[in-house]
Amino acid sequence: MQFEPFIRRQEKSWRRLEELTDRSWSNAEALSEDELQEFGRLYLIASSDLALAQRDFPSQRVTRYLNQLVGRAHALLYREEPLRRQHLFDFYREAFPLLYRRLLPYTLASTALFLLPAVIAFLVVWSRPDAIYLFLGSGIEGLVETVEDGELWTEIAPSVRSAASSAIFTNNISVTIFAFAGALTGGLLTLYIVVLNGLNIGAVFGLLQFHGMSAGLAEFVAAHGFIELSVIFLSGGCGFFVADGLLRPGLLSRAAALRQRAGVALRLILGCAPILVAAGLIEGFISPSGLPWQLKLALGLLTGIPLHWYWLRRPKTAQRNRRRSSPTAVSVP
């Protein structure tokens, strides 16, 4: 095939494809229906031309040009549908609670693996305060000295509460992600994170209980603890869910099971991000405030109970689908 005739014959269609690609790159709705059909036709032509150019003119600039043009058009043609506000609304309205209930057995296991070590550590340290070093190591000395002096460390100055709030919810998101990512170790890292956090919290409460100060920490966590711990329990459940698929893939390959379950769990983790931000804001601004403990507890209940109602409810669409598919469903006049 001759180079110059090839260029003259096809250059017009390439330029047209480039124009349509540029116009629709930032807005997929910029093209009319006829232009979309033209775009598809020109993409096929350019792909065929690229194959010919790679065979006959591999070192020519036109081959590099066609490779870039076809690459951009391919990315535009096969890219995922952009996230729209309605899609986000639909996710939180229906998909999020459905996914939560799907992983509920794993989340309950995560909750138990947190609470049982917490209770054990609490009882041990309450009876023997020096045992806190077994759970938290020698680095806890400063905290122990603060408690022995009759002080709590939870007071956050109003001037730094904004920065503290940012640091808190960033830390919470990090713990959530690590608990989820621990699935890649067969769930061992997830187990370690969940149990360790339970032991740490239980040991600290045990030390404060020995010194008669546990009510102060309970007051501090009352406002944010319900939703914060709920998300941490869920992140552990996500890690166990993915690890279970990795260890017991069933009829799927391990790689396929990992991709499938990780996709489900990741949607839950990302869905929890606004909840953790809310928990961080409450912990940074309200928990250390001088509000009465009754109001803080009320806020904790008014956020925690609706959150679990939302997670555990059955969306109306799912209810309608279930009634339609049920063989015993009857129509009542």
Q: What is the pLDDT of residues 169-193, one digit of tens each?
A: 455 667 778 888 888 889 999 999 9
Residue 29's Cβ-count burial label (10 Å; 0-12, 13-18, 19+) is: exposed
pLDDT tens figures, 12-47 = 988 888 888 888 776 666 778 888 888 888 988 988
Torsion 299-304-307-309 (CA) sign: negative
Residue 205's Cβ-count burial label (10 Å; 0-12, 13-18, 19+) is: buried
Residue 168 has pLDDT above 70, yes or no: no
CA distance 302 to 297: 8
pLDDT band at 317 (very low <50, low <70, confident <90, very high): low
Higher pLDDT, 167 or 331: 167
CA distance 206 to 131: 10
With b meaning 16 or more CB within 10 Å and e meaning fewer, what string describes 248-283? Answer: ebeeeeeeebbeebbeebeebbebbeebbbbbbbbb
- Mean pLDDT of the chain, nearest integer: 83
> What is the reported pLDDT for 164?
44
DSSP states along 77-131? HHSPPPP-HHHHHHIIIIIHHHHHHHTHHHHHHHHHHHHHHHHHHHHHHHH-GGG
> What is the reported pLDDT for 268?
92
Query: For the chain, what are the domain ranges?
Result: 7-78, 86-314
Higher pLDDT, 100 or 330: 100
Cβ atoms 173, 91 nearer than 8 A:
no
Residue 25, both tokens? 């790159």
pLDDT tens figures, 38-87 = 888 898 898 888 888 888 888 888 888 888 888 888 887 776 555 556 67
Cβ atoms 220, 154 nearer than 8 A:
yes
What is the model's pTM? Answer: 0.68
Residue 111 has pLDDT above 90, yes or no: yes
The SS3 call for residue 186 is: coil
> What is the reported pLDDT for 25?
73
